[in-house]
Structure 1
Amino acid sequence: MQVVADEHLADVAVAAADVLGSPEDAITRAELLRRREAGEVTLVDVRPHEEYQAGHIPGAINIPIAELADRLAELAGDRDIVAYCRGAYCVMAPDAVRIARDAGREVKRLDDGMLEWRLAGLPVDEGAPVGHGD
C-alpha cells in the first residue's frame, strides 16, 4: 500500500510542478514582506480587476494575467517582480512567472495568494488605485 501511495504522490508532485512551476520560483509571505519593505520588489496582482477591487495586498499593482505581456514595460526594471493571484493552487501567478521571465525580467510568485493572506489577518486594501481608469 505504501509503495502505491508513494508512486502516486510522486506523480502528483510532478504534475503540480508542471502547472505551478518550480518551488524555486516562489517566495514566502515573510520574504515578500521583508523585500517589499526594503523596496526591492514590485508586487503585481494578476487577478481580474473586479477581484483586485474587492481586496488586494497593499501596494500591489493590478495587471490581469491576460494583459501582463503587453504591460510589463510599465513595471520598474530595477526591481524584481512578485506576482500573486487567488491562492496556492491558482495558475495565474505561475503563468505570470513564465511570461515575465520570457521577457527577461526577474520574477517570483508568492507561494500562496490572496486567500491565505486574508486568513493570516494581514492588511488588505479595497477599491481601485488612484488614477485607475476602470
Structure 2
Amino acid sequence: MNHSRQALFDTLAQVGKAMGNGHRLTLLERLSQGEAPVETLSSCADLTVGNTSQHLQHLRRAGLVTARRDGRQIFYRLTDERIMQLMCLMRGIAETNLAEMERLLGKLFPESDGAGELEAISRDALRSKLERGEVTVLDVRPQDEFQSGHLRGAINIPVEKLEQMLDQLPKNREVVAYCRGPYCFLSREAVRILRSHGFQVRRLEDGYPSWKAAGLPVDRVGT
C-alpha cells in the first residue's frame, strides 16, 4: 500500500519536474496565448529550435502540452486550460513568499508610477465596466496571438503599430490595454504611449491567460 501511494506521488512529481525550469515556464506562458509552431516558441524563449524541442518533449511527457504536424511544421498547444490556473497559483505563491520576486519585479519594471500612469484595473472591475459598456478594450499582443483568443470585443493593435493607428481608439472613452500577463511589458508601453497622446487609459492587472482561466468571455477570430 505504501509503495503504491509513493508511486502516485512520484508520478505527480513528473508535472513539477517538467515545470521546474524557467525556459519551460516561458514556453507555457506563450502557449497559454494559443497554439504556436516550434519556430515561434524558440524565438519567444530566446532558444535554438533544437533546445526548444527538447524542452517541449519534457513538457509533453508530463502531459502538459500536445503536438500536431501541419506539413513540415509542428504546432504545440496546452493539453489542459487548468495549466494556466496552476501557473497563476505558482506566481501568487512566489510573489507572496519569495523576497527575490520583489527585487526581480523592481528590476524588470523600474519605472516610477508617481503619476499613476501605470495604474492597473482588476479583472472584476473590467468585467463590470464591459457589462455597462463604459470601456474600450485594447489587445496589444501580436496578431497571431490575438487570433488564437482574446477578450470579447477587444480591438487588436500590436504595440509597435499603436502610434500609427491612434485614430482607431476613442478619446472620449476609457481604454484598458492588456497583453500576455503580469510580467509582460507590452501593456505598460501602450499605457505610456496613449497617455502621451491624451488618452484616458489603464492596463489590465493580469493578461489574457488569467482572464480566460477565470472563465470570463473570450472570442477567437473566425468564431
Q: Tell whether the structures are fold-level matches, with TM greater than 0.5.
A: yes
CA distance in 1: counterparts of 2:193 and 2:117, whole angstroms: 17
Of 114, 119, 134, the residue aligned with 1:40 is: 134
Q: Deviations over 1:45-70 (max 9, x none)?
A: 00111111100000000011111111
What SS class does the counterpart of residue 150 from structure 2 fall into? coil
Q: Is 1:54 paired with 2:140?
A: no
Q: Runs of 5+ in structure 1 lacking a partner?
A: 130-134
Q: Which residue number corresponds to residue 186 of structure 2?
A: 92
Q: Partners in 1 of 2:180 and 2:197 — Cα distance? A: 24
Match of residue 214, structure 2, among 101, 120, 123: 120
Give the TM-score taking structure 1 as reference length: 0.80
How well do the aligned residues superpose, as a CA RMSD in angstroms?
2.5
Aligned pair count reads 124
Question: Percent of counterpart pairs with the same letter?
Answer: 43
Is structure 2 residue 106 aligned with structure 1 residue 14? Answer: yes
- Structure number, greater radius of gyration: 2
What secondary structure is seen at the aligned counterpart in 2 of 1:43?
strand
Contact 1:25 1:97 in 2 (8 A): no
State how far apart, in whole Å, the 1-side matches of 2:141 and 2:120 are.
17
Q: Is the 8 A contact 1:19 1:91 kept in 2?
A: no
CA contact (8 A) 1:43 1:59 kept: yes
CA distance 1:49–1:13, change in 2 (3 Å): closer
Asked if the contact 2:118/2:188 (under 8 Å) is kept, the reply is: no
- 1:62-111 per-residue CA deviation (whole Å, 9 max, x = no partner) reads 01111111111211111111000111111100110011011111110000
Q: In structure 2, what is the equivalent of residue 75 of structure 1?
A: 169
- SS of the residue corresponding to residue 82 of structure 1 reads strand
